[in-house]
Amino acid sequence: MALRDAEPAIRPGETLRSIGERVGEIALVHPSGKRWWIAFAGAGLLVGLFALTLGYLLYEGVGIWGNNNAVVWALDIASYDWWIGVACGSLLVSGILLLLEAEWRGAVNRIAETVALLATAAAGLYPIIHLGRPWFFYWNLPYPNTFDLWPQFRSPLLWDAIDIVSFLVVAVSLWYIGLLPDIAALRDRAHAEATRQAEEVAPTRTKARLRAQTYGVLASGWRGSAAHWQIWGQAYRIVALLGVLLVVSVQTGASVMLAGSVMPGWHGTLMPVSFLIHAVLSGVGVTAAILVLVRGVYRLDAVITGRHLDALARLLLCLGCASAYCYAAEIFDTLLAGDAAGRAVLLRRMAGGHALAFWVAVLGLVLPPQLFWSARLRRSPPALAAAGILVAAGAYADHVMILVVTLTQDFLPSSRLPYGVDIWGIATFVGSLGLFLALVLLFIRYLPSVSITQVRRLVPPEESRQALPPGGGRAGAPSPDGAPLWGVAAAFGSEAELAAALQALTPSRGRIRLDGYGPVPMPRTLRALGLEGRSILPYALAGSLAGGAGFYGLCLYATAYDYVFLIGGRPRFSWPSFVVPSVSFAMLTGCLAVHAALLWLNRLPRLNHPAFNIPDFLRATDDRFFLAAELQGDGAEVLRIERRLTALPVGGGRPVALARIPR
């Protein structure tokens, strides 16, 4: 059965309001709190182990990992690459689903973006703690210093620093932009609850008020304006595109760096493709496991349906088949066309002292996804979670096989020391895993784990209209005598009715300023508001081109003119070495430009606005649509606006309520 013919992406009968209540309840009320505290205590113990390991590392040195001349990073190079792979895979899945506008993406994107962000944070710790003196991590960055030294721009260490910073900025931006409207929805619900507790003089009213204020600051004054939604959608997609490009650059850049070395086993031309496939596979596996966990614990089967499980299972199946092809191609190419050293490395991987890594990688990345040829297993949450965990374990073993096993014998007499996995390397990885799980639990506890906005877009229009009583055009209370008016506001039950009312007031647009507010994007209102054609793409292009060209020029200037340091026979203008960090920096500056444009064009943050004085305006992030006609003159238009709106037919633009809003 084709995916488009599968069950709906939300349970029938769901409305805008019920989706907001179902998802927002987790952050505001937090059902299943006892189980959460038990899980958080377990993750906290692992975080304590991580802190203990890092303390001993700083005291004793990086030699506690059991590294020697050949395996210079020991097990931690595999851990670092695994975390980066999980982050790349999760970000790539979220970005592609967003760019392809998959209608069912709302239940997957938020968790994938969170996994990408937290995995990037976990990965970023490894290069820092490996420095020996991590408090000097900024020495890797190009900045003015007392000795007029430049970092080595040809070094992969600098590439890692630029990649991690760029990836972290893109991941944070994508995560926060997608989360912004949902934080506003939590803000309004928390404000309503804080008001109720204040009126009842409840003992927890101070805590409720503080929570509402925190969400209010994080929401940056988001009002759900049609202009907000237009720029928000563009920014979300552009940052997703920058993230996809960054993922491809990071994964292929790392593999090309390995392929450019003299080590046998790293020369395969398929390595960039296999790196990318295994990264995406591990990201999908971790995302699927956490998705199943959230769905089961918080009973979100109404918005995380069997269709989402089926889609992720199909994706795992496709990637598992691609992974099988990569392994088969590498093995046959090495056996049929490889040299003696390459065949020796392959034999050592399959039957050497670390052969377990090879077989765990092959069995974990290839076999579990094959379960999903069965339609029944594709819709089984336990099967999907188990396959996701096994795939993630296989991806970790793959990094151990490629990096650690290959480096254990580099054909130099000085490096023929045996390497064994050390307990401190395992403790470091387990501790970083505990940190990741603790942050995931905090995210689930305080923020929406499913995108309220994206899921609401699946609600049929008729379900939205049922949330309001029939329209009657009732006027609100007039403003106090002598109080200047800001404008007139009207409430509606659907975007179609709001768009019809805006269209009726379009002839008066020179004397009033129109705006529309709602809980979901409102593309049908843009023409009436005169917002068609606005784009922030030029900001993204300018930021990316300026950042990439500027960093590339900095590399050329530093290495060829100001700080010439020629080693290994490299040419003075070794321009290929500068491509990878320049692309990463271009994505970083483009993302910053998009984020700045989002805030500037929407005049955010603005924590106070006259629109917040509209009666019942808190429902603008819930299930109601509002029209605001801001007066540009002396207020003579008020009666004409009210008469024109009340003259519209029911269901064709007549508002449910009208109100005059003071300044």
Q: Any idea what DSSP says for residue 509?
A: T
Q: How high does pLDDT run on average in the chain?
A: 86
Tell me what the mean pLDDT of segment 622-647 comes to. Answer: 85
**7-11, 22-26, 45-49, 491-495: which has the minimum mean pLDDT?**
7-11
pLDDT higher than 70, residue 562:
yes
CA geometry: angle at 153 spanning 147 and 155, to 5°? 110
Q: Which amino acid is at 499?
A: A
Q: Which residues of 495-531 are buried (b: 16+ CB within 10 A; e: fewer)?
A: bbbbbbbbbbbeeeeeebebbbbbbbbbebbbebbeb
The verdict on residue 218 lying in a domain is yes
Closest CA to 170 of 238, 102, 105: 238
Write the DSSP string, 116-184. Answer: HHHHHHHHHHHHHHTTSSGGGGGGGS----TT-----TTSHHHHHHHHHHHHHHHHHHHHHHHHHHHHH
What the block records as the tokens of 506 is 């379009």
Closest CA to 502 of 529, 473, 539: 529
The verdict on residue 514 lying in a domain is no
Position 509 scores a pLDDT of 76
Tell me what the mean pLDDT of segment 341-368 comes to. Answer: 89
3-state DSSP helix/strand/coil % of the chain, to nearest 5: 65, 5, 30
Position 635 scores a pLDDT of 63
Give the number of domains in the chain: 1
CB atoms within 10 A of CB 159: 21
The verdict on residue 538 lying in a domain is no
**278-287, 470-479, 550-559: which has the minimum mean pLDDT?**
470-479
pLDDT higher than 70, residue 192:
yes
pLDDT higher than 50, residue 474:
no
* Per-residue pLDDT reduced to its tens digit, 113-126: 999 999 999 998 98
pLDDT category, 469, cuts 50, 70, 90?
very low
Tell me what the mean pLDDT of segment 570-587 comes to. Answer: 84
pLDDT category, 158, cuts 50, 70, 90?
confident
* Per-residue pLDDT reduced to its tens digit, 594-614: 999 999 999 888 888 888 889
Closest CA to 235 of 647, 636, 594, 498: 594
pLDDT higher than 70, residue 264:
yes
**408-417, 489-498, 516-525: which has the minimum mean pLDDT?**
408-417
pLDDT higher than 90, residue 498:
yes
pLDDT category, 416, cuts 50, 70, 90?
low
Tell me what the mean pLDDT of segment 80-84 comes to. Answer: 93
Could you list the residue range(s) of the whole structural domain that residue 279 is in? 16-456
Closest CA to 494 of 472, 513, 477, 471: 471
Position 98 scores a pLDDT of 94
pLDDT category, 569, cuts 50, 70, 90?
low
Q: How far is CA 342 from CA 312, 338, 426, in A?
A: 36, 6, 29
* Per-residue pLDDT reduced to its tens digit, 294-336: 998 888 888 999 999 999 999 999 999 999 999 999 889 888 8
What the block records as the tokens of 129 is 């703690």
Highest mean pLDDT among 409-413, 518-522, 628-632 belongs to: 518-522
* Per-residue pLDDT reduced to its tens digit, 199-239: 888 888 899 999 999 999 999 999 999 999 999 999 999 99
pLDDT higher than 80, residue 255:
no
Tell me what the mean pLDDT of segment 620-641 comes to. Answer: 84
The verdict on residue 226 lying in a domain is yes
CB atoms within 10 A of CB 195: 15
pLDDT higher than 80, residue 62:
yes
**The domain that contains 256 carries what CATH number?**
1.20.1630.10
Position 584 scores a pLDDT of 92
Position 477 scores a pLDDT of 45
pLDDT higher than 60, residue 478:
no
Q: How far is CA 437 from CA 140, 329, 387, 442, in A?
A: 29, 36, 19, 9
CA distance 227 to 577: 43
pLDDT category, 3, cuts 50, 70, 90?
very low
The verdict on residue 499 lying in a domain is no
* Per-residue pLDDT reduced to its tens digit, 418-463: 777 889 889 999 999 999 999 999 999 999 999 999 999 888 866 5
pLDDT higher than 70, residue 6:
no
pLDDT higher than 50, residue 551:
yes
